Structure 1
Amino acid sequence: MTLEETTGLRIPDSRLAREAAELVRDTEGDLLFHHSVRVYCWGALAGKRTALKFDPELLYVASMFHDIGLTAAHRQSRLRFEVDGANAARDFLRAHGISERDVETVWNAVALHTTPGIPQFMRAEIALLQTGAGMDVAGRGYDQFSDAEREAVVAAFPREPDFQHGIIDAFYEGMKHRPDTTFGTFNDDVLAFKDPAFRRVDMCTVILGSSWTRCAHPGHRHAGPDKE
């Protein structure tokens, strides 16, 4: 049975969706491309299960672009890879005359997909992109999908036998030249796993070593007891 027959899920087939897929397909390898389509599937299935109202086309475009910042085209960038992907999606959508409100939604979805605790309180497409990415990479919410759903999605868009190491490698290759951009997200876990020389930035160390700490009580003048 097909994906649609098993799950009721249809991959968007508008001109916008097809051109987004073609662009990303020509940019990414099989691992990231298939991952991106599965991210859409998990997100859309989660949206359907929870009765969230979302735009399938916008979620699909966001899914297509969410990891494009990891590719060779962005090897010189010093931005977070999520921002590179968000900017690429924004440029693509603007070139197709999409409204700025929808452009902003997709930008936020891509930019925030590795940021925990925020997307679920934003527009449905933003929340569902993170849901889909978390399911495909880390198995978050795995048991909320039926066996039939999981089997149908993976049959349609194969998951490589060693996907876990493959996606870690893809993250590493896309971020190793800009390690500072991993601060504040779990992306620094990837660099720590792959590079023994990598040292995480610790927020407490930053605070205690800041200029405020080095300059004892800057701008403060002790007035002493009041005098009449």
Structure 2
Amino acid sequence: MVAISHLLTRVIAGIPVPNNPLINSSIALARAALPDQGYNHVMRSWLNGQAIINNLPAANRSRIDQEAFAIATILHDLGWSNDTAYNSPDKRFEIDGAIAARTFLQTHGGPAWRSPHRLQLVFDIIALHTTASIARHKQPEVAIASAGILAELLGPDAARDSFGELVTVGRAQWEDVSRAYPRDGIKGYFNGVMVGLCVKKPGTTWDNLVSDYGEVLVEGFNRTGHRTVDATQMGLGDWVGGEGGREGE
């Protein structure tokens, strides 16, 4: 995919970023759908990720779909919105966000977004952003988005523990971004979102990080019986040789 580096016509918090009407529309959507803490988080995530892209060698940078990266990162937490247009009662928040972003692009993206590949790239960026162990082996846009989001939340040093030398955003850049889009209240907001997911749709949390917050922060939350190990221990039984069948049958 051809990069859109010629559209790096805006600088936010010292970081050159792509600037076009579709990206601006995605920013407006995030602003309308999320409270201050959520909006500031997605903007910080985009800027930290864009800083990583800007530090890539020119040959690597030219292969990045920076428009797809920007839009996906800006919209990656639409599944946190209280608006039922963007969240469902039965899907993980990452999938809700991926579906909402794809719908936005199908509606507003025009001919450039009729490409199934580009739509799938945006979907994957959002769907996999919390799963670093998979994201880092996917397309560069997917890996960089996950790295940038992790860097925004925990800082560049912590992100390097998962993504290594890919994380080139510096501490000074991180602090500049945090001043432009303040982190005030982010811990309480983040915890509140996770708790809300555990309470409102616990079935979407059993196999992922959200359930960790349920176990710590939600009274009575219990994954027992819903874990993969529970299903396999019950479903596989103790098989014996010969004619087959479970032991004791």
Q: TM class, shorter-chain normalised? A: 0.7 to 0.9
Q: Does 1:44 align with 2:55?
A: no
Residue among 99, 107, 125 paired with 1:109: 125
CA contact (8 A) 1:83 1:111 kept: yes
Residue 71 of structure 1 is matched in structure 2 by: 81
Return the TM-score normalized by structure 1: 0.84
1:122 shift after superposition: 1.4
Q: Does 1:141 align with 2:159?
A: yes
TM-score, structure 2 normalization? 0.77
The structure 2 residue matched to 1:58, chosen from 48, 56, 68, is 68
| Structure 1 equivalent of residue 163 of structure 2 | none
Contact 1:72 1:174 in 2 (8 A): no
Higher RCO (CA-CA < 8 Å; seq separation 6+): 1
SS of 2:133's equivalent in the other structure is: coil
**Percent of counterpart pairs with the same letter?**
24
Q: Rg bigger for which structure?
A: 1
Task: Find the counterpart in structure 2 of residue 196 from structure 1.
Answer: 219
Residue in structure 2 matched with residue 208 of structure 1 by the alignment: 233
Partner residue of 1:154?
178
Matched letter for residue 212 of structure 2: D
List gaps (5 residues or longer) in structure 1.
Answer: 223-228
Per the alignment, residue 18 of structure 1 pairs with 24
AA aligned to 1:176 is: V
Distance of aligned partners of 1:133 and 1:73 in 2 relative to their CA distance in 1, 3 Å threshold: same
Partners of 1:13 and 1:175 lie apart in 2 by 37
The counterpart of 2:189, out of the listed 166, 172, 188, is 166
Tell me the residue number matched to 2:143.
127
Q: Which amino acid aligns with 1:170?
A: V
- Runs of 5+ in structure 2 lacking a partner? 1-9, 161-166, 245-249
Pick from 14, 33, 42 the counterpart of residue 27 of structure 1: 33
In 2, the alpha carbon distance for the partners of 1:188 and 1:34 equals 24
2:208 to 176, 181, 185: 185
RMSD (Å) for aligned C-alpha atoms = 2.5
Determine the C-alpha separation between the residues in 2 that align with 1:174 and 1:23.
22
Q: Match of 2:93?
A: 81
TM-aligned CA distance change 1:92 to 1:157, over 3 Å: same
Instruction: Specify the alignment match of 1:225 in structure 2.
Output: none
